[in-house]
Structure 1
Amino acid sequence: MGLDETAQKPHDRLSAHLAADMERVNALIRRRMASEHAPRIPEVTAHLVEAGGKRLRPMLTLAAARLCGYEGDHHIRLAATVEFIHTATLLHDDVVDESAQRRGRPTANLLWDNKSSVLVGDYLFSRSFQLMVETGSLRVLDILSNASATIAEGEVLQLSAAQDLRTDEAIYMKVIRGKTAALFSAATEVGGVIAGAPEEQVGALFTYGDALGIAFQIVDDLLDYGGSTTTIGKNVGDDFRERKLTLPVIKAVAKATPEEREFWKRVIEKGDQREGDLEHAMALLASHGAMEETRAEALGWAQTAKAALAVLPDHALRSMLADLADYVVARVN
C-alpha cells in the first residue's frame, strides 16, 4: 500500500486537518517558484511540485507547529521551505541517478535536460533560504541550513558507499540519516521551535521525525525488491539496476557464501548485470531472511517514532502522527 493510495488513511486525515494551512503553503510555493526572467524555472518546478506528491514533509512542519499551539504565520513559510528543499534534492537526485521516472511520471531531466534540473534545483535551494530568513529565527535557520548540508553529505557518501561491498549497516544508516531522515527531523523540529515549545517537546519532535524518516527510507528500499511500480512510483528493481547497496542487500552480503559474494561483486561492484540477475538477487535476499530482517528494523524505527510523541500535548494531531508512523511501515506488512 503506497502513501498515495486509499482514502482516509492517516496521511489523508492529516491532510484534511491541515487543509487550510496547506492551501496557504501551496499558494506561497506557487508565488515563490515564479521567475520573471527565466520561465523554465516554474515549468520545471511545476512538473515536480504539481505531480501529485502528498506534501508529507511540509505537513509534518505544520502538524508539529499546530500540535504545540502555534497561532502565527511563520509555519507556512517553514513548510514551503521544507518542500522547496525536498524538491531541489529530487531534481538533483534524478540527474545523479540518471532516473527516467519519478512519482510515476517522466523526470524533469528526461523532459528537459540535466542542466535545467540542476540549475532549477539550485534556484529552489536559494528560495528556501530566503523563506527561512523571513521567519527571523536564527535557530530555525541553523536547523534547516544544517539539514541541507547533511542531505548533500549523505548523497555524496552514498556515491562512494553504494557500490562497495564493504559498506555495512552503520554506513547505510549514515547515508539514509543524511539523505532522508535529516529533512524529516528538521521539518518536525522547526515546527516546535517556531511555536516556542519546551525543549523536551522540541527534542521529541526531532526524534519522531528522525525515526519516521529512517523507517520511511528502509521501507522504500525494501519495496524496491518486493513492491510494485504503482506503489513505489518507480520501476521495481531500480536500486539493483543502479547498483545501490541498500539494507536488504547489505544483510544478504553479510551472510553470503563465497559463490554468492562473487555474484554480488559482479552485479554491484562491477556492474556486469545479465538477464535473470534481479530474480537471482531476490532469491538470495529471501534465502537469507534479509527481507524479513529489514522489515523488522523498519517496524522498530516506527515504534521509536511513536514513543517519542508521549511528551507532546494530547491532541488529535498527535494521534495522526502516531498513526502515520504505523502506516509508513504498513506498506510492507
Structure 2
Amino acid sequence: MGAVVKIEGDRREVASIEAIISLTAQDMGRVNELILARAGSDVEMIPEVANHLISSGGKRLRPMLTLAAAQMFGYNGDAHVKLATSVEFMHTATLLHDDVVDESDLRRGKRTARMIWGNQASVLVGDFLLGQAFRMMVDVGSLDALDILSAAASVIAEGEVMQLGAAKNLETTEENYLSVIGAKTAALFSAAAEVGPIVAGGSSDDRTALRSYGMNLGLAFQLIDDALDYGSDSESLGKNVGDDFREGKVTLPVILSYGRGSDEERAFWKRSIEHGSSDDVSLEKARGLMAKHGSIDDTIARARHFGELARDALKPLAETPQKQALLDVIDFCISRVN
C-alpha cells in the first residue's frame, strides 16, 4: 500500500486575499452585475449553464487582478470593469471547454455542466461567453487591451492542444510541461494583470511589470494545483483528488517521479498513465512513489520560485495598497498546500 503524501512547507503569517477583495469590492460588485447582464440570453439554456458555473463559488481572482492593477495607477473610469468581466468570461469559457476535453465529473465540488446538460451545450455556451467577452473588449475601445486579451485567447487554445499532445506521454519534459501551463493557465493571469495599466495609461515598463507578475503567478498557481491533486482532499481541492492521475494527465509530479524512477517504477507509470490502469490502489502507489522521490516537494519548490519571480516583477513599482495586495495574492496561492 502506498504512502499518503503529506504536503508541507513554509507558510507566511498572513496568506490571504482579503486585501485585494477589500480594495476591489466596489468594482467587483459592478463586475458581478455585468456578469449577470451579459450572461443573459433569450435562449433559455445559455443562462442556465453559464450561471451554474459562474455561481459555483470561485474566488474570481483573475478579474480582481485587472481591477487592482488599474487602481494601482490611479484609474477612475469604468473600462476596467468591462475588461475584468471579459477576463472572467474567458476563464469561465475555458473551464466549460476543459471539463469536456478532460471528461471531468466535478468542478468546485459540484457536478460539471457537461454532466447536467451534456458536452455540446457546455462547448456552445463557452463559445457564447467568449463572444460576449470580445463584445465588451470592443466596447472599451482600447486596441492595446483588445490585442492583449485576444492574443491570450489564442494562446490558451494553443495550450489546450499542447496538453492533448502531452496527455499520457511520459516522455514529456519539464520544459515542455512548463510551456503547456504557461499557455493554458498563466497566459490569462498575465493578460488580466497587464490590461490594468493599459486602461490606466501606465508606461510600457508598468505593463511589462504586471505582465511578468501575472505570468509567474499563473505558473505558481498551476504548479500548486498539480501538487494538491496528489495531496489534498476533494472538498478543499474542488474536484476529486487524483483526477489528474485517473485522466492520464502528465503533470510535473508525474514527470519528476517517472524521470527519477527505477525500471520497475517506470513500468508502473506506463501501466497507470499510458494504459489507464489508474484505480485507487494505483493512486496510492503513485503517491508513495512521489513521496519517495520528493516529487511533490520539488513541485512546490518550483512554484515558490515562480512566486518569487512574480514578487520581483513588482519591485520597481511605487508602494501602494494595491501593490501589497498583489504581493499577498502570491503568498495565498502558495499557501494553499499547507
Which of 204, 211, 219 in structure 2 is aligned with 1:206? 211
Post-superposition CA distance 1:261-301 (Å, at most 9, x none)? 11111111111234511011111111111111111101111
Post-superposition CA distance 1:111-135 (Å, at most 9, x none)? 1111110100000010111011111
SS at match of 1:244: coil
Q: Residue 268 of structure 2 corresponds to which residue in structure 1?
A: 263
Q: Residue 92 of structure 1 corresponds to which residue in structure 2?
A: 97
SS at match of 1:311: coil
Which of 134, 138, 153 in structure 1 is aligned with 2:139? 134
How many angstroms does 1:313 deviate by?
Answer: 2.2
Contact between 1:151 and 1:183, CA under 8 Å: does it hold in 2? yes
User: 1:165-314 maps to which residues of 2 (within 5 A)?
Assistant: 165-314=170-319
Runs of 4+ displaced beyond 6 Å: none
Q: 2:31, 2:178 → 1: CA distance?
A: 31
Which of 30, 34, 49 in structure 1 is aligned with 2:36? 30
How many angstroms does 1:10 deviate by?
Answer: 2.9
Q: 2:82, 2:128 → 1: CA distance?
A: 17
Instruction: Work out whether 1:16 is the aligned partner of 2:22.
Output: yes
Post-superposition CA distance 1:94-114 (Å, at most 9, x none)? 111111111111111111111
How many angstroms does 1:9 deviate by?
Answer: 5.4
TM-score by length of 1: 0.96
Q: 1:161, 1:229 → 2: CA distance?
A: 25
- Shift in alpha-carbon separation, 1:39–1:9, aligned structure 2, 3 A: farther
Contact between 1:10 and 1:320, CA under 8 Å: does it hold in 2? no
Q: 1:109, 1:275 → 2: CA distance?
A: 24
Contact between 2:245 and 2:278, CA under 8 Å: does it hold in 1? no
- Shift in alpha-carbon separation, 1:275–1:15, aligned structure 2, 3 A: closer
Which moved further from structure 2: 216-225 or 162-171? 162-171
Contact between 2:66 and 2:83, CA under 8 Å: does it hold in 1? yes
Post-superposition CA distance 1:171-205 (Å, at most 9, x none)? 11111011100000000001111111011111000
Q: Residue 4 of structure 1 corresponds to which residue in structure 2?
A: none
Contact between 1:162 and 1:246, CA under 8 Å: does it hold in 2? no
Q: 2:128, 2:77 → 1: CA distance?
A: 27
Contact between 2:15 and 2:335, CA under 8 Å: does it hold in 1? no
Q: Residue 325 of structure 2 corresponds to which residue in structure 1?
A: 320
- Shift in alpha-carbon separation, 1:42–1:9, aligned structure 2, 3 A: farther
Post-superposition CA distance 1:12-70 (Å, at most 9, x none)? 2211221110010111111111112x011111100110111111000000000001111
RMSD: 1.2
Q: Residue 5 of structure 1 corresponds to which residue in structure 2?
A: none
For structure 1, the 5+ residue unaligned runs are 2-7
Instruction: Work out whether 1:330 is the aligned partner of 2:335.
Output: yes
Identity percentage of aligned residues: 52
Q: Residue 61 of structure 2 corresponds to which residue in structure 1?
A: 56
Instruction: Work out whether 1:150 is the aligned partner of 2:177.
Output: no
Q: Residue 102 of structure 1 corresponds to which residue in structure 2?
A: 107
TM-score by length of 2: 0.94
Contact between 2:272 and 2:278, CA under 8 Å: does it hold in 1? yes
How many angstroms does 1:239 deviate by?
Answer: 0.4
How many angstroms does 1:323 deviate by?
Answer: 1.2
Q: 1:272, 1:323 → 2: CA distance?
A: 41
SS at match of 2:171: coil
Q: 1:111, 1:306 → 2: CA distance?
A: 41
Q: Residue 80 of structure 2 corresponds to which residue in structure 1?
A: 75
Q: 2:263, 2:239 → 1: CA distance?
A: 32
Post-superposition CA distance 1:296-321 (Å, at most 9, x none)? 10111111111111122211111111
